[in-house]
Each structure stands twice: as C-alpha cells, then as structure tokens.
Amino acid sequence: MAKTISFRYRSFLPGAGFDSTGSPKQGKTRIVGVITVSSYSGGEGEPLSANDLGLNTIDSIHIRVADENTGAMSAAAGGGIAPTRKVSYTKSTGHFYLYNVDSDGQISSIASAATETVEFDAFGDSAMDVELL
C-alpha cells in the first residue's frame, strides 16, 4: 500500500451547503486531484480518507483510472483487446479498489504491487473550515 496524492484544483463553495442532518452549512469544498498508486495491495484495496483529500467529510466523490485502456493487444487473450482497468470507491470502508474488466465483462483483481494513476473529483466539508462555537 503506497500512494501519493497531488491536488490540481481546490474551490471553496460559498453558501448552499448542508450538513449530514440537512441543516444549512457553509464551508463546502471541491477538490480535484491525482492519486499515484505505486504498490497496490490487491484485494485489500487502498485506504482513502476525507483527511487525505483535505476534507472533514466526503459528501460525494467521482474516481476513475486515468488510463483505463491502453488499447494494447493481448497475446494471452488470443490477440483480443487488453482488459480495461477500473476503480471503485467504497464510502463505508474508506477504500478504493482497482480491478480489470475483460471484453466479455469478466471482472478480475489487479495483481498486488501494481502501479496505477487514479483521478478524483470530491466534494465535502473543508478541513480548513472555521469552527464557530
């Protein structure tokens, strides 16, 4: 498990925010960036917390593999197209998981110690938000 997070864009969203109970709240933020995974941990997934992204809570996250399909032909697949790499984020565990999808729709895990670049766009409560008492 080794990853580096690089931020590309941070925008503080004034007004119109709500907390988890539905009460109006200021301090919402949009964060866009890249996660470079240098050693994937197989089926265990990679931890990704709100704090990793500069947030107190993740309201929403869109996450995708930067190069899903290199378009390479695979000799192992009889000359077929190489599997497409995908990623999914599980909010309840705070982990993202990398996997392959072949041309028949079959899913398989990515080998341990694999490297990958993942892009994300997340919204949530800013960790830099001022706490009013």
Q: Tell me, what's the pLDDT at 69?
A: 77
Evaluate whether residue 96 is within a structural domain.
Answer: yes
pLDDT of residue 133: 41
What share of the chain in percent tops pLDDT 90? 37
**Arithmetic mean of pLDDT, 87-110:** 89
Residue 46 counted as domain residue = yes
Which has the minimum average pLDDT: 45-49, 87-91, 127-131? 127-131
Query: What pLDDT sits at residue 79?
Result: 58
131 belongs to a structural domain: no
Instruction: Tell me if 133 is assigned to some domain.
Output: no
Structure tokens belonging to residue 63: 């996450």
Alpha carbon distance 37, 117 (integer Å): 6
CB atoms under 10 Å from CB of 118, counted, come to 22
Residue 122 has pLDDT above 60, yes or no: yes
Under 8 Å between Cβ of 111 and 41: no
Domain holding 18, by residue range, is 2-126
pLDDT of residue 12: 85
- Of the candidates 49, 29, 32, the residue with the CA atom closest to the CA atom of residue 124: 29
Residue 70 within a domain: yes
Residue 44 covered by a domain? yes
3-state secondary structure 82-96: CCEEEEEEECCCCEE
Q: Mean of the pLDDT values across residues 22-33?
A: 84
Per-residue pLDDT reduced to its tens digit, 35-59: 999 988 777 889 999 999 999 889 9
Residue 89 pLDDT > 90: yes
**Of 12-26, 51-65, 91-105, the least confident:** 12-26
Evaluate whether 89 touches 15 at the Cβ level (below 8 Å): no
Closest CA to 60 of 47, 52, 50, 45: 50
Strands of 40-83 (E only): list them. 46-47, 55-65, 73-74, 80-81
Q: What is the total count of domains within the chain?
A: 1
According to DSSP, residue 60 is labeled: E
Q: What is the mean pLDDT of residues 21-41?
A: 86
